[in-house]
Structures are given as C-alpha cells and as structure tokens.
C-alpha cells in the first residue's frame, strides 16, 4: 500500500513539473515535451498532477483531450483503488 501511494505521489509531482517545464520551453520557443508522454503519464496515474499543471500554468487548455483523458484516468484509477483495496 505504501509503495502504491509513493508511486502516485511521484508520478503526479513528475507530471506537474513536466507541465511547468513544457510551458517554460513553449514560451521560449525551445524543444518541447511530447504530448504522448504527457498523456501517458496521466493515464498511468499522474492525472491529478496533470490537471493541476494544466490549470495552474494555463498550458494545453485549448486541447480538450488532455482534460478529458486526465478526468477519465482519475475516475478509472479511483475505481480500481476502491475495488482492490
């Protein structure tokens, strides 16, 4: 159980930081973080950090599929945690 909690915390913090870095790189016209990687991290459990990054940094707000994917991932992960615990 502790390992699972640590996993979720680390992945959410990682994705939140990735959104901050991607926003910074976007504003400077530099190399960007792949959208596939951002979505994959959200699906694997970092969706809360991803949503926080979207709205806190106002990044990827026009790409509705990010919010939809993250909300769906939150619902699925919550359900799985409820069922297995």
DSSP E strands, the chain: none
pLDDT tens readout for residues 17-66: 999 999 999 999 999 999 999 999 999 999 999 999 999 998 888 888 99
Q: For residue 61, what pLDDT is reported?
A: 85
Burial 3-23 (b: 16+ CB within 10 A, else e): eeeeebeebbeebbebbeebb
CA distance 85 to 80: 8
pTM score, two decimals? 0.89
């Amino acid at each position: 159980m502790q390992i699972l909690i640590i996993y979720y915390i680390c992945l959410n913090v990682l994705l939140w930081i990735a959104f901050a870095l991607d926003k910074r790189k976007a504003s400077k016209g530099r190399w960007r973080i792949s959208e596939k990687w951002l979505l994959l991290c959200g699906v694997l459990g970092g969706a809360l950090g991803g949503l926080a990054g979207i709205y806190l940094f106002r990044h990827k707000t026009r790409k509705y599929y990010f919010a939809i994917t993250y909300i769906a991932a939150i619902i699925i992960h919550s359900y799985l945690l409820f069922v297995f615990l």
